Chains A and B, each alone.
Chain A
Amino acid sequence: MATTRVTAPAGTPFIEVERDFDAPRDLVFRAWTDPKLLVRWLGPKRLEMRVDYWELDEHGGKYRYIHSGETGEEHAFHGSFHRTTADPYTLLQTFEYEGAPGYVSLDELRLVEEGGRTIAKLRSVHQTVEARDAMVEGGMSEGMNDGFDKLDELLAGELAGAR
């Protein structure tokens, strides 16, 4: 069973995510860098993901994509890719949410193959600790759904009734 591990050391601007995949790394890399495949998994479940532009070669490139909802809400993201032929399974990219212009993180994806399986290691470096924390909170709302709303209500009730 694959596990997703998240590490966010206090007082640092880092956040790390690690996950194993039951596939060789060239497939994982393809699913991560072919926009036709990426749109099938990267977006939040309740939003539609579309790619505005995606230009990537062995040296780098640039991208922009948009998550949109049925009610017309749109969240756009863009950045630059950096790559080196010396390490083709590492992808560096800047990442900026257009709803918070000027807050840019540097995201590194490294794929390590082990016995036919691939460990994906993601590391985001934010400009400040505060920006890192805000990003995690943002990721929180992205994962938000009815369940979380109901959870908040229940917690509020439970805490209000706490002995």
Chain B
Amino acid sequence: MHNQVVIQNPTADQLSAVFAALADPTRRAILERLAGGDASVNQLRAPFAISQPAVSKHLKVLESAGLVSRHRRGTANLSRLEPEALREADDWLERYRAAWEERFERLDEVLAELANPPS
């Protein structure tokens, strides 16, 4: 057990990015494939009926969420799973915090409306 747990942003933004990234079945399949080891874009696209640019686009989303990093080995450009981003998102207190953050973002909208009532 932790002595004291204090959690704050930027994890909130990163967490949103992680969940947005996980919302897509192709991206989840890519992560599952990477859990088995580093892979190139061509190796990643093999199981899917999609183009290389489409796979690259998915990889970009995964990279900006911190779930995947890119490494050069010789001439090959390999993608690698970064499990730390997944573990952070799984933290129980972080989930509690994320639940509050979700509410507070809606409260922000209510407050903005109260301050500037629609005419």
Q: Which chain B residues border A112 with CB–CB below 8 Å? A: none
Q: A158 at interface (Cβ–Cβ under 8 A)? A: yes
Chain A contacts with B in 26-49, Cβ cutoff 8 A: 27-28, 30-31, 37, 40-45
Chain A residues in contact with chain B, CB under 8 A? 1-10, 15, 17, 19, 21-23, 27-28, 30-31, 37, 40-45, 136-137, 139-140, 142-148, 150-152, 154-155, 157-158, 161
The reply to whether the CB of B81 lies closer than 8 angstroms to some CB of chain A is yes
Query: B2-19 interface mask toward A, CB cutoff 8 Å, 1 = contact, 0 = none?
Result: 111111110010000011
CB of B99 within 8 A of CB of A140, answer yes
Stretch of B39-47, B69-77, B109-117 at the chain-chain interface: B109-117
B103 to chain A, nearest CB (A): 5
Q: What is the distance, in angstroms, from A46's C-beta to the closest C-beta of chain B?
A: 11
How many Cβ-Cβ contacts under 8 Å join chain A to chain B?
Answer: 134
Task: Given the known inter-chain contacts A3-B12, A31-B114, please indicate yes or no for A9 contacting B107, CB distance below 8 A.
Answer: no
Considering only CB atoms, which chain B residue lies closest to A45 in the complex? B102
Closest partner residue, chain B, to A6 (CB atom): B97
Residue among B3, B18, B89, B98 having the largest count of chain A Cβ atoms under 10 Å? B98
Q: Give the Cβ gap from B41 to chain A, nearest Cβ, in Å.
A: 21
